[in-house]
Structure 1
Amino acid sequence: MSQTASLGRPLAGIRVLDLSRVLSGPICGRLLVDLGADVVKVEEPVEDILRAQPPILAGVGSLFAQVNAGKRNVSIDLKADGAAALVGRLAAQSDVLIENFRPGVLARFGLDAATLCALHPRLVYCSITGWGQSGPWSDRAAYAPVIHAEAGLLALSQRLRDRPHHGEIQQHADVYAGLFASNAILAALFQRERVGLGQHLDIAMGQALLYLNEHATAELAGHPGSFGFPTWGFETFALANGRLVHLLGDPVRQFPELADALGIALGAEDPLRVDPALRSAQGEQLLARVREAFGQVADFDALKARLAALPTLEAEVRSTRELAESAWAAERGVLAELAPALRVPAAPWRGSGAEIGLSKDALAAGIAGRGEHNRAVLEDWLALPDDELNALEARGVLSEAPRAKGNR
């Protein structure tokens, strides 16, 4: 959320033209919004698929709201006569352009990086694709599950867990690419201040996933992929009150200590205390005894007291909603409310001097409808008069859909 500060917003005055759809590009744009940029999302008449993707909250898809909060919205039909020229004029007034089309698509409209960067040398043009702008895979369509399968994530997960893996819940490749894109954009803007030139940034989802795969270096050396801290194997146990607890430790290897802490019967001379191989051989039985003992502990506070002296860490399994209702979340201001039924994650960092997060105006405005800011943006960025705006609407270049009910 916005914080009172004296330095203002880091990207105040920076204009971003967001031609991207779905997740990787939009989350990049949202991060720039949180830094104070004026981000304008260009949405075609066939709306971004996330806008209507359930669950629908305050009349808009929840994920669409999360990654497009704070953006202004213009709706342009790129196939309409004069539409590409209009987008080109907007690009000429932009500091940054974000797109995640397949390589070559925007070239059909004269909106590719080579064309626009030649016309506007200060433009930072950021392209996000599955496999990059060049090379044998550049023309392949790519969604996060495809990248997860082909960039090693599913194979790694299946091997380390020793069971079939059917896919990831989170869209890691999209999110990582969006994060790297925002980082690259900030670096390019900083460099532009030094040398006076923008550049074309080529972000590949597959490369982003590889870079953040902490097992990659071990695997490349032929190592099976474990580096001695098998977090994927940590156990979850139920307490007496039904709450789940995640134990960061090895309950079989640490069985003697857990037995003493949890009241599991284990004699002083029991060979399990001194024989790791025996504990390993009886792993399933020992795990069952630990599970039973956890089930007799009243609650999480009682568990923490019992395990305080052990070299383990325990965590209460919370839902996102439970985390958001915690005292920690209240103090950090981790949510931004865009409508009574619509809360989105706020910027995950603080600055000691800068104003970070969605502005008060953005919070009050909610999520923009498709084309809601057609006239405001074109008047602001291009100083278009009413007669030209009317002509663009008449030719179908511009269109607008009413804001959904409940969205402010």
Structure 2
Amino acid sequence: MLANSLEGLRVIDFTQVMAGPSCTQYLADLGADVVKVEAPSGDLSRALSPWVHGEGVAFLALNRNKRSIVLDLKQSAHRLVASRLVAEADVVVESFRPGVMTRFGLDYAEVSAENPRLIYCSVSAYGQQGTARDLPGVDGVLQAVSGLMSVTGAPGGQPCKVPVPVVDLVTGSFATISILAALALRQRTGSGQHVEASMFASAIALQHVSFASYFADGHVPGPQGNAAPYSTPNEALRCADGWIMVAAYHPARWLALCTAIGAPELASDPRFAENKNRLQHREALLRLLEARMLAHPRAFWLERFAAVDIICGPINDYAEVAQSAPFVEAALTENLLHPVAGALTLPRSVIGAVGERPRARRAAPTLGQHTREVLDELGMPPEDIEAIIAADPPLN
């Protein structure tokens, strides 16, 4: 089972918020033992709204299957503990600005001298090299500087960000891919290496086709609304009671759409005969399509389009999604019991083989929940463990 494929690997997680934690959660979902090192104040995502009994939902969503320990890396005794953890680890993931781990004595050059098999992944806003390496960055800012916000939203409207942390999550995915590739290489060579995931580079990769189009024709795209820039009809169309997304740009499906809405003459109209012509006359085309579709509700058109193999779907809100057959049948949620937040319903891992429904081994940890447990595994005497815990400054 894929859910156990990384069993036996130890990952030390020095990340917070979303990009790094999404990466380490994927590793944990695959069976790795992920030890999350938090400052006494905790991962910043613990303070992000909303909360369940004081526990941040963002943290709960991105830190399942992990264990949490509290170390104040500004204290030398705590840095020594972190060094011991790293010395015995298979993977380290960190998301500090470049140079911070060097100041802690935990950078790749330092720790790989003692642990040459270590896979060390650095997640940062702009990468480990270049003039922007020291700049901070969060998902929204990276959506802006990467060009993503310039093509979202309605034409003529204000700049609009994707309201989910898409740059964070795609960065975590690329970090995971790099780590898994490095682990595969280590099986052959016995050596670890330093890999990275840049939020900026990841945001560009997310727009791979769009940038390829820009380099091909030099056209700077603007906001696209809900339409695909390369084909039409491939956008949201309004019905009597809402909207559906329709992708009918393939020649056979374009002809089927014209017939289904009772306007077969559109297929032979020179303005609409081929995709390149339709793109030139998109506004006129959409007016003609919606004039027909406003006569009936969504359910009518969805049934009619499905009967002739037109690719389409309703534009659902979250409540409709959660009740939809694909969501329910794929079992995309799981129920977990958290020691503070109580019973939780959360999205589950989607990593798995056909027929697998991987389940979380544990809910996201409370702050420092496993400090004693992990330090005991290091072989530290009880009195030293208590000294480390007592040295943490009180939480606000």
CA contact (8 A) 1:255 1:286 kept: no
Aligned to 1:320: 318
Gap change, CA 1:136 and 1:296, over 3 Å in 2: same
Q: Structure 2: any 5+ residue segments left out of the alignment?
A: 222-227
Aligned to 1:229: 230
Deviation of residue 16 (structure 1)? 0.6
Structure with the bigger RCO (C-alpha within 8 Å, sep 6+) is 1
Distance 1:344 1:67 in 2: 10
Aligned to 1:347: 349
CA contact (8 A) 1:35 1:357 kept: no
Determine which of 373, 391, 394 is the counterpart of 1:376: 373
Matches within 5 A, 1:296-335: 296-300=295-299, 302-308=300-306, 312-335=310-333
Matches within 5 A, 1:144-183: 144-157=139-152, 161=155, 163-183=157-177
Gap change, CA 1:167 and 1:320, over 3 Å in 2: same
CA contact (8 A) 2:239 2:295 kept: no
Deviation of residue 164 (structure 1)? 4.1
Distance 2:346 2:73 in 1: 30
Gap change, CA 1:187 and 1:284, over 3 Å in 2: closer
1:209-234 deviation per Cα after TM superposition (whole angstroms, max 9, x unaligned): 22232222222234426897347961
Gap change, CA 1:292 and 1:374, over 3 Å in 2: same
Deviation of residue 175 (structure 1)? 1.4
The alignment's C-alpha RMSD in Å is 3.3
Deviation of residue 400 (structure 1)? 8.3
Query: What SS does the aligned partner of 2:137 have?
Result: coil
Deviation of residue 137 (structure 1)? 1.2
Matches within 5 A, 1:8-407: 9-57=4-52, 59-157=54-152, 161=155, 163-213=157-207, 214-224=209-219, 229-230=230-231, 234-239=235-240, 242-249=241-248, 261-262=260-261, 274-276=269-271, 287-288=286-287, 290-300=289-299, 302-308=300-306, 312-339=310-337, 342-351=344-353, 357-359=358-360, 361-362=361-362, 366-380=363-377, 382-396=378-392
Distance 1:243 1:156 in 2: 24
Distance 2:174 2:366 in 1: 28
1:31-58 deviation per Cα after TM superposition (whole angstroms, max 9, x unaligned): 0011000111111112222112112135
Letter in 2 for 1:304: L
CA contact (8 A) 1:15 1:38 kept: yes
Distance 2:98 2:282 in 1: 53
Letter in 2 for 1:199: Q
Gap change, CA 1:102 and 1:8, over 3 Å in 2: closer
Distance 2:309 2:95 in 1: 46
CA contact (8 A) 2:306 2:312 kept: no
Aligned to 1:405: none
Gap change, CA 1:223 and 1:372, over 3 Å in 2: same
Gap change, CA 1:76 and 1:310, over 3 Å in 2: same
Query: What SS does the aligned partner of 1:338 have?
Result: strand
CA contact (8 A) 2:14 2:95 kept: yes
Q: Structure 1: any 5+ residue segments left out of the alignment?
A: 402-408
Gap change, CA 1:18 and 1:258, over 3 Å in 2: same
1:380-407 deviation per Cα after TM superposition (whole angstroms, max 9, x unaligned): 2x0222111111122228x789xxxxxx
TM-score of the aligned structures, taking structure 2 as reference length: 0.83
Deviation of residue 309 (structure 1)? 6.2
CA contact (8 A) 1:161 1:233 kept: no
Distance 1:150 1:282 in 2: 31
Aligned to 1:406: none
CA contact (8 A) 2:258 2:266 kept: no
Distance 1:309 1:233 in 2: 18
Query: What SS does the aligned partner of 1:87 have?
Result: helix
Distance 2:391 2:320 in 1: 50
Deviation of residue 274 (structure 1)? 3.0
Distance 1:256 1:332 in 2: 33
Letter in 2 for 1:372: Q
Distance 2:3 2:284 in 1: 60
Letter in 1 for 2:178: A
CA contact (8 A) 2:37 2:68 kept: yes
Deviation of residue 310 (structure 1)? 5.5
Distance 2:357 2:387 in 1: 39
Distance 2:155 2:271 in 1: 22
Gap change, CA 1:368 and 1:232, over 3 Å in 2: farther
Deviation of residue 162 (structure 1)? 5.8
